[in-house]
Chain A
Amino acid sequence: DGGITQSPKYLFRKEGQNVTLSCEQNLNHDAMYWYRQDPGQGLRLIYYSQIVNDFQKGDIAEGYSVSREKKESFPLTVTSAQKNPTAFYLCASSLTGPNTEAFFGQGTRLTVV
Chain B
Amino acid sequence: AQSVTQLGSHVSVSEGALVLLRCNYSSSVPPYLFWYVQYPNQGLQLLLKYTSAATLVKGINGFEAEFKKSETSFHLTKPSAHMSDAAEYFCAVRSPNTGNQFYFGTGTSLTVIP
Contact = CB atoms under 8 A, between A and B. Distances in A.
A107 interface: yes
Interface in B28-80: 31-32, 34, 36, 41-46, 49, 51-52
Interface of A: 6, 31, 33, 35, 40-43, 45, 48, 50, 88, 90, 92, 94, 96-99, 101-107, 109
Main secondary structure of the interface of A (DSSP, over half): strand
A94 B34 CA distance: 13
Given A40-B9, A90-B44, 7 more contacts: A42-B90, A98-B94, A99-B49, A101-B46, A102-B44, A104-B36, A104-B43
In order of increasing CB-CB distance, the 10 nearest A-B pairs are A104-B43, A42-B106, A99-B51, A43-B104, A104-B44, A98-B96, A106-B43, A99-B32, A98-B100, A101-B46
